[in-house]
């Protein structure tokens, strides 16, 4: 029985594989990648590599085996029909008779357009009959902290979320939950609503940046239309500006404030606090 991770060289996938290596022998881990060269470091640690592409269904033929546990990390090609891509993996998992397929989804409370593909994928997975675990990941700190240069340059956090609050956590936190499901028992046909232990608003985020940099960082709240225009002007490709603005509208409505405690329970530790996430980002 293998633990198979799709998108293994992506930002979340690398955290998952790294944490799996702390718990299970490397030969039990299969990293599914599109570019074998990008996974050379994983192969050097003994991880089995499988080259496959969501856009090429035949590459998943025979990739899974009966009894495998699979993590389907959602694709990020918003213009290529993500539900169809995910269906390729689900169909291959069903044909092989895997023991569990865990899927990185979006919070059940999220009504923004970004959640549409996730809801549709969940429906395909549940209908397939494959034992599943829906890992409804909340927002990532890194969605903000990886792009601090313009914030620091302009002295402003610009968002369209009003006074809404977010239960963000780090990729490492969400990876820990996935690893717990992949290595544990009793997670068949489960749904987990995952988010950070403590929520924050963008005014607090700006204040934390100010505290740690010694610079005056303000929170500049704009309309969703203005925010979409700003993102498009910064070079974000379609359809992402509208999708991201829609997420901010959902944040303002409280849809990304997760209070279940599922993430820290699964990972067995408190989630990363805001101050720590900001500190790590500023250290580069």
pLDDT given for residue 79 in this prediction: 66
Question: How far, in Å, CA of 178 to CA of 204, rounded?
Answer: 29
266-102-270 Cα angle (round to 5) = 20
Q: Do residues 166 and 251 make contact, with C-beta atoms less than 8 angstroms apart? A: yes
Q: Which two tokens stand for residue 38?
A: 């990008």
Q: Do residues 6 and 73 make contact, with C-beta atoms less than 8 angstroms apart? A: yes
Domain boundaries, the chain: 3-138+170-194+259-271
pLDDT tens digits, one per residue of 76-129? 876 668 999 999 999 999 999 999 999 999 999 999 999 999 999 999 999 999
Mean pLDDT of the region 145-152 = 94
Question: How far, in Å, CA of 276 to CA of 284, rounded?
Answer: 13
pLDDT given for residue 226 in this prediction: 97
Q: Which two tokens stand for residue 45?
A: 């640690």
pLDDT tens digits, one per residue of 3-45? 999 999 999 999 999 999 999 999 999 999 999 999 999 999 9
Q: Which CATH number fits domain 3-138+170-194+259-271: 3.40.50.300, 3.20.20.140, 3.40.50.720, 3.40.630.10?
A: 3.40.50.720
């Amino acid at each position: 029985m293998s633990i198979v991770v799709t998108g293994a060289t992506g930002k979340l996938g690398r955290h998952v594989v790294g944490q799996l290596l702390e718990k299970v022998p490397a030969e039990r881990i299969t990293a599914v990648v599109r570019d074998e060269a990008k996974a050379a470091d994983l192969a050097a640690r003994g991880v089995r590599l499988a080259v496959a592409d969501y856009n090429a269904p035949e590459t998943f033929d025979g990739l899974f085996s009966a009894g495998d546990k699979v993590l389907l990390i959602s694709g990020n090609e918003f213009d290529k029909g993500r539900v169809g891509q995910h269906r390729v993996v689900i169909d291959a998992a069903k044909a092989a008779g895997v023991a569990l397929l865990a899927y990185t989804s979006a919070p059940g409370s999220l009504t923004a357009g970004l959640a549409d593909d996730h809801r549709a994928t969940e429906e395909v997975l549940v209908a397939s009959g494959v034992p599943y675990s829906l890992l409804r990941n909340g927002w990532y700190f890194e969605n903000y902290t990886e792009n601090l240069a313009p914030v620091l340059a302009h002295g402003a956090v610009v968002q369209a979320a009003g006074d809404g609050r977010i239960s963000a956590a780090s990729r490492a936190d969400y990876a820990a939950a996935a690893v717990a499901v992949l290595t544990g028992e009793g997670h068949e046909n489960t749904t987990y609503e995952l988010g950070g232990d403590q929520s924050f608003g963008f005014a607090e985020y700006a204040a934390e940046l100010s505290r740690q940099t010694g610079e005056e960082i303000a929170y500049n709240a704009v309309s969703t239309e203005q925010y979409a225009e700003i993102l498009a002007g910064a070079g974000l490709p379609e359809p992402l500006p509208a999708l991201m603005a829609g997420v901010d509208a959902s944040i303002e409505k409280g849809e990304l404030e997760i209070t279940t405690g599922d993430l820290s329970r699964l990972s067995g530790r408190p989630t990363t606090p805001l101050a720590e996430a900001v500190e790590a980002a500023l250290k580069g």
